[in-house]
Amino acid sequence: MGHSGGTYIGIQAAAQNPELYNAYIGVAQMSDQLRSERLAYEYVLQHYKENGNRNMVQQLESVPVLNSTPDAYLHLSDKIMHTLGIGTTHDMNSVITGIFIPSLKCRGYTLKEKINMWQGKSRSGVHPLWDEMLVTNLMLKVPKPYYEQLQTHIKRFYTFEKSAHSPLFEEPERMKLILNEDVLNGLNDLADEH
């Protein structure tokens, strides 16, 4: 299972050597990241125009997302996404209170692993492969429209209506149910369409 930036690596690994995997699960799956960034930019710009927030409109228009994501835009977009409830989770206002502190409480990692994780995150920015992600259209690596072209004996698509970017944190019981009932049993009973 890959989540967000992890899906960039996960889907390519599964596509290159499918015989090594029983299943691949993409959560917040990347496909065409530059297009996704452009759509997000257009969405928030339109939102602030409709709400008459000239300050945010001016800030956004000064850092347009065209063929790249300017650093000034990335800094601004993180705050915007969390303010609008479309960031990591609907109710996350801060990386510190939303992810950093909870990660320190996680019993699944040692203290050294937690320190290494956050040191790596602070040094890598959005993602260590961000520039590569922006120029790689994964829909072309799986030729034709992404989900429709996946050829496998079973595939499923699940929509999480109560989640932003991280259904595994916002709807953990539904995620667990899907993994236990569908994925582990090779079924698609809980999928959006059968």
Contact between 55 and 31 under an 8 Å Cβ cutoff? The reply is no
Task: Provide the pLDDT for residue 94.
Answer: 79
Q: Which is more confidently placed, 125 or 67?
A: 67
Could you tell me which residues are beta bridge partners of residue 3? 27
Please give the share of the chain, as a percent, with pLDDT higher than 70: 94
DSSP code of 32? B
State the average pLDDT over residues 173-194. Answer: 91
Q: Which residue type occupies 67?
A: N
pLDDT in tens, 14-66: 888 988 988 889 999 998 999 999 999 999 999 999 999 999 999 999 999 99
Task: Provide the pLDDT for residue 143.
Answer: 46
Contact between 139 and 147 under an 8 Å Cβ cutoff? The reply is no
Contact between 34 and 135 under an 8 Å Cβ cutoff? The reply is yes
CA distances from 121 to 42, 70, 83, 99 (A): 27, 19, 22, 12
Task: Provide the pLDDT for residue 32.
Answer: 92
Contact between 5 and 128 under an 8 Å Cβ cutoff? The reply is no
State the average pLDDT over residues 143-147. Answer: 58
- What are the structure tokens assigned to 78, written together? 């993180």
Indicate if the pLDDT at residue 142 is higher than 80: no
**Least confident range of 3-12, 34-43, 88-97, 111-120:** 88-97
Q: What mean pLDDT value characterizes the chain?
A: 89
The three-class DSSP label of residue 27 is: strand
Stated pTM of the model: 0.82
